[in-house]
Amino acid sequence: MLGLMQNWPLTVDKILDHAKSWHGDREIVSRSVEGPVVRTTYAEVHARAKRLSNALKGLGVQPGDRVATLAWNTARHIEAWYGIMGIGAVCHTLNPRLFAEQLCYIINHAEDKVLFTDLTFLPVLLEHRAQMPTVKHVIVMTDEAHMDPAAYPGALCFETLLAENSADCVWGDFDENTAAGLCYTSGTTGNPKGVLYSHRSNFIHTLVTMGQDVMGLSATDTVLPVVPMFHANAWGLAFSCSAVGAKLVMPGMKLDGASVYELLESEAVTFSAAVPTVWQMLLAYMRETNSRPSTLQRVVIGGSAVPEALVRAFRDDYGVSVTHAWGMTETSPLGTLATPTGKIAKMSPEEQLRFTLKQGRPPIGIELKLVNDAGERLPHDGTTFGRLMVRGPFVVGEYFKGDGGEILDEEGYFDTGDVATIDEYGFMQITDRAKDVIKSGGEWISTIEIENLAVGHPKAALCAVIGAAHPKWDERPVLLVKLEPGVDATKEEFLAFLEGKIAKWWTPDDVVFVDDIPLGATGKIDKKLIRERMKGYVLPTAAPAKATA
Ligand code: ADP
């Protein structure tokens, strides 16, 4: 027997409809790519997004067509998202930090028909124009005054298209399983693969992530999403902030400490979200200038593990609470958050910190399990390492165009490629990417844990741990350290710093000081490149003993 409630398809255009109707005058403030800080409202964004929908229809965009965006976080980017998705076209977010060759691969694979771009990216687009044959129109997200016909001959102007089209456009009216967005994984192994979100998956992700124990967003919040809309959907904030009517502050292309701080203060931001490196830059700026945030209450940090020093600095020096989050492109992206349970909330701040440093627990809609290589379930005892598997209504079912084949196990779980533990409180902790974990004498060593401890050394700017071949143990850890500018340090200093904090057999066999620790396009340490650079490296503990004369 079916229920008799209304059929109200969960399509994301309804989110912006709601924002217009009930929070119409709530502001969206952007640091524009042209320079000045500009202000608009949900009502204006709604009307402009509808104009854009009509413009896209005029350019021949049909339901299901892919329309790409290559853009920073601004109100115009939000208008493009809703304008595309509202008419059943698919918004394909492109990550400008990818190499041009990867961008071309992705654009061709997605068969993008129209491409929205910020002024910033016109040179690279022009240079590779011939390699993007499917792209029929390029729309520059600016006004006539900033259009330079020579920068990209034939490009269309965003503001002109808006002026030429009416705001009278019907949105939605299609199946909630219709594709809404497309985002490619960064392709650290093989070619990038496309994750094709549906309206329904985005809508459910929005409802889940608004919740108090997840992002905990409210109409009274002012939110600064530093996390880019081009990677993992800005953690859903363009949807969830519209859904609750939070004021949005969009940082544009300036993500340095000074620029982020300026917006935090000038717009009285209460909540922000970003990867650890952004927060490190902000903290460095605040220390240098002896400034402190006056309205900021909470930051969500994810994308890579949060170092303890970062949580302590926010909590103890600035009174800002940190929520650690884990997720991936394939999970829309939020998967777990380290918000306290009733039991944890009763613990002392020091005890609670132990849980904040873990990646956290799943909200409703995310199911997790740990398995061994044979696919058998492992206990949630906080110490057993296993492959982290996930399923739920906003988790990938298959990649775009079937790339990678069957990606779910027989129970419908997706293998995240992460290795993790889950403790008796239900808190998951990522110990490694499966491909980075060090296997020493048959036991696993977590590179992430060592890195996060080592980076707490006052002389360390960035640390990475990789496995190096060892004749007896298969692999042993090597710690690579990029020092703060102008300081010297010794291997012994770092090893002494780690002593007592990790198991003895986890202690790196060597410490190598390097000028650079490379980061990939999504801000994570690029271990593949580090391993390439360290190809000829031999562990001192593995080198054959020198012959004595
Ligand atoms: P990519 O496209 O590079 O895979 P994602 O953002 O989808 O970009 O990356 C997801 C991966 O990032 C996760 O599988 C995990 O390895 C890592 N990750 C995300 N958040 C965290 C976190 N809080 N701690 C540790 N690793 C994390």
The pLDDT tens digits of the residues spanning 508-537 come to 999 999 999 998 877 789 998 999 999 999
- Write down the mean pLDDT value for the chain: 95
Burial of residue 21 (CB within 10 Å: 0-12, 13-18, 19+) is exposed
For residue 185 and ligand 1, the question of a CB distance below 6 A is answered with: yes
Reported in sequence order, the residue ranges of 128-178 that DSSP labels E, i.e. its strands, are 137-140, 156-157
Q: How many CB atoms lie within 10 A of CB 62?
A: 11
- Which of 134, 384, 444, 482 is the catalytic position? 444
For residue 418 and ligand 1, the question of a CB distance below 6 A is answered with: yes
Asked about 439 being catalytic, the answer comes back as: yes
Average pLDDT of the segment spanning 225-231? 96
State how far the Cα of 50 lies from the Cα of 44, in Å rounded to an integer.
10
Asked about 444 being catalytic, the answer comes back as: yes
The pLDDT tens digits of the residues spanning 372-420 come to 989 999 999 999 999 999 999 999 999 999 999 999 999 999 999 999 9
Q: Strand 194-198 and strand 298-302: pairing?
A: unpaired
* pLDDT at residue 90 greater than cutoff 80: yes
Distances (CA, A) of 356 to 36, 56, 95, 498: 37, 45, 29, 21
Q: Strand 438-440 and strand 443-445: pairing?
A: antiparallel
What percentage of the chain reaches a pLDDT higher than 70?
Answer: 98
301 vs 277, higher pLDDT: 301
pLDDT of residue 143: 98
pLDDT of residue 277: 87
179 vs 452, higher pLDDT: 179
- Which of 11, 40, 142, 185 is the catalytic position? 185
For residue 416 and ligand 1, the question of a CB distance below 6 A is answered with: yes
Whether the predicted model's global pTM rises above the 0.85 cut: yes
Q: Measured in angstroms, how far is the CA atom of residue 392 from the centroid of ligand 1?
A: 18
- Which of 401, 439, 459, 501 is the catalytic position? 439
pLDDT of residue 520: 84
Full set of structural domains in the chain with CATH:
8-230+239-246 (3.40.50.12780), 439-533 (3.30.300.30)
Confidence category of residue 441, pLDDT binned at 50, 70, 90: confident
DSSP category for residue 121: G
pLDDT of residue 357: 96
Mutating to test ligand 1, I would choose from 524, 525, 527, 529 the residue with most ligand atoms within 8 A of its C-beta, which is 524
For residue 54 and ligand 1, the question of a CB distance below 6 A is answered with: no
pLDDT of residue 545: 56
The pLDDT tens digits of the residues spanning 164-181 come to 999 999 999 999 999 999
State how far the Cα of 311 lies from the Cα of 85, in Å rounded to an integer.
37
State how far the Cα of 45 lies from the Cα of 24, in Å rounded to an integer.
9
Burial track 429-466 (b if 16+ CB lie within 10 A, e otherwise) = bbbbbeebbbebeeebbbbbbbbbbbbbbeebebbbbb
316 and 216 in contact (C-beta within 8 Å)? no
The pLDDT tens digits of the residues spanning 325-376 come to 999 999 999 999 999 999 999 999 999 999 999 999 999 999 999 999 899 9
380 and 423 in contact (C-beta within 8 Å)? yes
pLDDT of residue 549: 39
Closest ligand 1 atom to the C-alpha of 324? 23
